[in-house]
Amino acid sequence: MMTPMRVLVGQGPEELKRLLSEFGEPGYRADQLLKWVYRPVPSIDDMSNLPAGLRDRLSREAVYHPCSVVTVRHSRDGTRKYLLALADGELIETVFIPETQRSTVCISSQVGCKMGCSFCATGSLGFVRGLTAGEIVDQVLQAALDVGSRPSNVVYMGMGEPLDNYDELIRSIGILNAPWGLNIGMRQITVSTCGVVPGIRKLGREGLALTLAVSLHAADDDKRSRIMPIARAYPLARLMEALHEYVANTKRRITIEYALMAGFNDGRQDAQRLTDLLKGLLCHVNLIPVNPIPGGLQQKPESSQVVRFENWLRQGGLEVSIRRERGADIEAACGQLRGQWEEI
């Protein structure tokens, strides 16, 4: 039986030490290898201070990057969207968003998604599998290789529900944050969930200083379950209880994502319900004018209505901002690029 190939991205110092001691290499070689793995470089051949014999053996017996770029789309605003292929041929999406003071990579945590939110292109693709920590981290490395520098921020907001792939999520956060890994500050990492209550509670108990973002999108159970099936399993009362517990455990402010859909959740009464629901929770509301997907029913509200909704929340005492749309000309919403690719 053939031994499965070892994948370098996703390994920590101890695992690399074990691998190189199996190869009969001295301990310091593992430190050299570790520095290259997360630097990153395109291939094992570029790891110039490793002896040629070791590079050859690694190239034969291990895989460095578990993801490869299939296509990149460049937006007029500088946003880049990658379609990446995994070793089993599955496709995922990653987005790089440059800003004045920082740069953010939006990464996927699963191939497809089980959650079936009606406004999301990924939801309509169905679920295939969770990503390994290496596949999650490699999305950041691929973007870094493409743009020539490490991003300052990472958001788990691409394809998939990160809390539905809990162990690999935690492992990947550890690598992104580790000084030997990508050394990205915990406060620069955001995990976005559609409201998986047991996962939120578990994550809160980890006590990490990351930012939790929760896709709420409606402030009553009936409306929410019409667009997000998860709301039937975890109604708002349970979700809010978990969020209060999360803040108590982590002392971190939660980001509430609210996608505004014309005529559905953007009225005066919706704003009032949202204000009442969030009263007393340490949070910031992000309003996102919905990005309509092909075949979807949701429409984007007029910008005057978005501003009106923002003001209603402000008057109700909430902290709120409107998220600027990025990469609209390249279908940067999650799942859109892969969907188009499969239609070709």
- The residue among 182 and 256 lying less far from ligand SF4, judged by its C-beta, is 256
In the chain, alpha helices (H) = 13-22, 27-37, 52-61, 133-147, 166-177, 197-206, 221-227, 230-233, 236-250, 268-278, 303-315, 336-343
- Say how far apart CA 319 and CA 199 lie, in whole Å: 25
3-state SS assignment for residue 236: helix
Catalytic residue, from 113, 120, 194, 334: name it. Answer: 334
- Locus of tokens 């958001």: 155
- The residue among 108 and 275 lying less far from ligand SF4, judged by its C-beta, is 108
For residue 324, count CB atoms less than 10 angstroms from its CB and return exposed for 0-12, middle for 13-18, buried for 19 or more: exposed
- The residue among 123 and 199 lying less far from ligand SF4, judged by its C-beta, is 123
Cβ proximity of 294 and 328 under 8 Å: no
- The residue among 37 and 242 lying less far from ligand SF4, judged by its C-beta, is 242
Catalytic residue, from 93, 135, 161, 310: name it. Answer: 93
> In this structure, what token pair is assigned to residue 219?
């402030």
- The residue among 5 and 328 lying less far from ligand SF4, judged by its C-beta, is 328
Q: HEC states along 167-227?
A: HHHHHHHHHHHCCCCCCCCHHHEEEEECCCHHHHHHHHHHCCCCEEEEECCCCCHHHHHHH
Catalytic: 343? no
Taking the complex as a whole, the smallest distance from the CB of residue 161 to ligand SF4 amounts, in Å, to 4
3-state SS assignment for residue 6: strand
> Parallel, antiparallel, or unpaired for β 110-112 and 80-86?
unpaired
Catalytic: 334? yes
Taking the complex as a whole, the smallest distance from the CB of residue 29 to ligand SF4 amounts, in Å, to 40
Taking the complex as a whole, the smallest distance from the CB of residue 242 to ligand SF4 amounts, in Å, to 16
Taking the complex as a whole, the smallest distance from the CB of residue 288 to ligand SF4 amounts, in Å, to 11
- Say how far apart CA 342 and CA 332 lie, in whole Å: 16
- Say how far apart CA 147 and CA 16 lie, in whole Å: 27
- Say how far apart CA 249 and CA 205 lie, in whole Å: 6
Taking the complex as a whole, the smallest distance from the CB of residue 190 to ligand SF4 amounts, in Å, to 14
Q: Strand pairing partners for 127?
A: 112
- The residue among 121 and 182 lying less far from ligand SF4, judged by its C-beta, is 121
Binding residues for ligand SF4, rule: CB under 6 A, are 113, 115-117, 120, 122-123, 159-161, 194, 334
- The residue among 132 and 193 lying less far from ligand SF4, judged by its C-beta, is 193
Q: Which of 340, 336, 341, 294 is nearest to 89 (CA)?
A: 341
Taking the complex as a whole, the smallest distance from the CB of residue 119 to ligand SF4 amounts, in Å, to 7
Taking the complex as a whole, the smallest distance from the CB of residue 182 to ligand SF4 amounts, in Å, to 23
Taking the CA atoms of 276, 277, 282 and 283 in sequence, report the sign of the dihedral they define: negative
Mind telling me the catalytic residues? 93, 334
